[in-house]
């Protein structure tokens, strides 16, 4: 999944507000949202657009440039018309199967006479955390500081500027992606007439929209079930400690249905939305009409069979989710359980199935903390969680560094925004 956020100044009686627009380029759907963000951080949605991805992506990775560019242009145009705003400069959020999160730490001795911690010390300790070997085809594009450590005292959430200390440490989560994949993201956005400013990890954006602060502090797993991928982000004690992207999502469920009932993917998707349930015991009674392929006559399939197909694939996904959560070693510390979001989260019965499989409390995560000027806004739908979260991206304390200028330019911009 790729998400884009746009920042420009709004004219007229909202002159003090920023116009922030996000564009979520998913495997199956592209969503654009335009909002006004006040100085207090209040977000009002002014317009949105949604278009099929037209086969431009597979598992969150661009495989057809022209199709992706065309879908971006269509979604952005729809959002611009509804909001009355022009979109030019964008910040992107990267997801997909090549997104990786890696914990790291850095340390620095404060050798000056007064021992006062400065911006240069903060920069140096973050740089030290980035000094690790990564594959040649990968590049770090975002640094999420978790906590600072001053003379052995951990749990410091904000940069400890001005404190007196001899040893400064930091724990971070480094986000990296495939270089060529990120270059294709930038190229597709540029080709759509937009300029990329920086990049943000999709799971962090989604967490802003759907997770409550007490959930993040108490321990929670966010599971974003999109069209081509399922992203997992585990939060403990206020910060992300593990991320993973599975190459399975709603598109695989649809594919299973198409094979199982002998239909086209388009018909399978329609049947899934109209009659699908996550648990076969919840299936409606009766049969469904299924058009034949290649001019053949149609046939009927029971709704129970449809739901059995859906349940089997969803159980596979949740088995993998459970394994990833267990891998962290924190499964017993997730007091807030699991929050499901993404388009698949709209499946009836999904909370019950996930609760049974994961043996944790589960809820559906929808965007909160935003209002909608546009009548009938769909931004609160789980499928808009990343796009909605980027509207609140100013709350993030991370360092975006991918692109021209690299790490040092990223630090410079980060300090400007931080203060």
At 276-290, the pLDDT tens digits run 999 999 999 999 999
Which residues pair with residue 372 across a beta bridge? 45
Write the pLDDT tens digit of every residue in 124-153. 999 999 988 889 999 999 999 999 999 999
User: How confident is the model at residue 133, as a pLDDT?
Assistant: 87
CA distances from residue 170 to 146, 290, 318 in whole angstroms, order as listed: 7, 58, 33
Q: With contact defined as beta carbons under 8 Å apart, do 202 and 223 qualify?
A: no
Residue 17 has pLDDT above 80, yes or no: no
Same domain, 55 and 77: yes
Residue 81 has pLDDT above 80, yes or no: yes
Same domain, 77 and 104: no
pTM attached to this predicted model: 0.89
Same domain, 108 and 145: yes
User: How confident is the model at residue 16, as a pLDDT?
Assistant: 55
Write the pLDDT tens digit of every residue in 220-272. 999 999 999 999 999 999 999 999 999 999 999 999 999 999 999 999 999 99
Same domain, 115 and 224: no
Q: With contact defined as beta carbons under 8 Å apart, do 240 and 173 qualify?
A: yes
Write the pLDDT tens digit of every residue in 144-186. 999 999 999 999 999 999 999 999 999 999 999 999 998 998 8
Q: How many domains is the chain partitioned into structurally?
A: 3
User: How confident is the model at residue 3, as a pLDDT?
Assistant: 47
Same domain, 247 and 347: yes
Domain end marker among 163, 178, 193 = 178
Q: What is the mean pLDDT of the chain?
A: 88
d(CA 416, CA 419): 6
What DSSP string runs through 225-291? E-SS-EEEEEEETTEEEEEEEES-SHHHHHHHHHHHHT--HHHHHHHHHHH--SSGGGPPSSEEEEP
Same domain, 229 and 372: no
Its domain, for residue 396, covers 2-96+181-207+368-418
Range in 40-44, 214-218, 372-376 the model is least confident about: 372-376
Same domain, 120 and 152: yes
Residue 59 has pLDDT above 80, yes or no: yes
Write the pLDDT tens digit of every residue in 306-364. 999 999 999 999 999 999 999 999 999 999 999 999 999 999 999 999 999 999 999 99
Same domain, 13 and 145: no
Confidence of residue 368 (pLDDT cuts 50, 70, 90): confident
Domain end marker among 349, 364, 379 = 364
Q: What is the CATH number of the domain that holds 227?
A: 3.30.420.40
Domain end marker among 364, 383, 409 = 364
Same domain, 195 and 236: no
Confidence of residue 374 (pLDDT cuts 50, 70, 90): low
Residue 13 has pLDDT above 50, yes or no: no
Same domain, 334 and 250: yes
Same domain, 241 and 261: yes
d(CA 352, CA 283): 14
Q: What is the CATH number of the domain that holds 151?
A: 3.30.1490.110
Same domain, 189 and 66: yes
Write the pLDDT tens digit of every residue in 29-39. 988 888 888 87
């Amino acid at each position: 999944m790729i998400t884009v956020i746009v920042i420009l100044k709004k004219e007229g009686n909202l002159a003090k507000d920023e116009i922030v627009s996000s564009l979520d380029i998913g495997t199956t759907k592209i969503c654009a949202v335009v909002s006004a963000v006040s100085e207090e951080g209040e977000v009002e949605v002014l317009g949105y657009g949604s278009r099929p991805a037209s086969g431009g992506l597979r598992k969150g990775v661009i495989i057809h440039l022209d199709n992706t560019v065309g879908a971006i242009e269509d979604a952005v145009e729809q959002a611009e018309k509804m909001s009355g705003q022009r979109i030019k400069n964008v910040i992107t959020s990267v997801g997909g199967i090549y997104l990786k999160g890696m914990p790291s730490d850095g340390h620095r001795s404060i050798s000056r006479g007064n021992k006062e911690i400065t911006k240069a010390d903060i920069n140096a300790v973050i740089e030290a955390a980035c000094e690790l070997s990564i594959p040649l085809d990968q590049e770090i594009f975002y640094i999420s500081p978790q906590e600072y450590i001053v003379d052995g005292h951990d749990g410091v959430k904000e940069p400890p500027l001005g404190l007196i200390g001899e040893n400064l440490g930091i724990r971070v989560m480094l986000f990296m992606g495939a270089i060529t994949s990120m270059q294709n993201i930038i190229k597709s956005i540029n080709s759509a007439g937009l300029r990329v400013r920086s990049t943000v990890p999709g799971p962090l954006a989604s967490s802003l929209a759907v997770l409550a602060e007490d959930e993040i502090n108490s321990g929670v797993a966010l599971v974003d079930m999109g069209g081509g991928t399922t992203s997992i982000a585990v939060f403990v004690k206020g910060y992300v400690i593990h991320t993973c992207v599975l190459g399975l999502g709603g598109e695989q469920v649809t594919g299973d249905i198409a094979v199982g009932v002998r239909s086209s993917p388009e018909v399978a998707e329609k049947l899934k939305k109209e009659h699908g349930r996550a648990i076969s015991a919840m299936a409606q009674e009766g049969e469904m009409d299924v058009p034949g392929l290649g001019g053949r006559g149609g046939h009927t399939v029971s709704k129970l069979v449809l739901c059995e197909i859906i349940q089997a694939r969803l159980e596979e996904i949740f088995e993998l989710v459970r394994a990833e959560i267990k891998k962290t070693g924190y499964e017993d510390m997730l007091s807030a359980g699991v929050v499901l979001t993404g388009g698949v989260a709209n499946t009836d019965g999904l909370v019950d199935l996930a609760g049974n499989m994961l043996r944790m409390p589960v809820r559906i995560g929808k965007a909160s903390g935003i209002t909608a000027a546009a009548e009938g806004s769909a931004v609160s739908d789980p499928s808009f969680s990343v796009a909605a979260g980027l509207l609140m991206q100013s709350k993030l304390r991370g360092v975006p560094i991918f692109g021209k200028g690299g790490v040092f330019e990223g630090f410079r911009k980060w300090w400007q925004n931080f203060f």
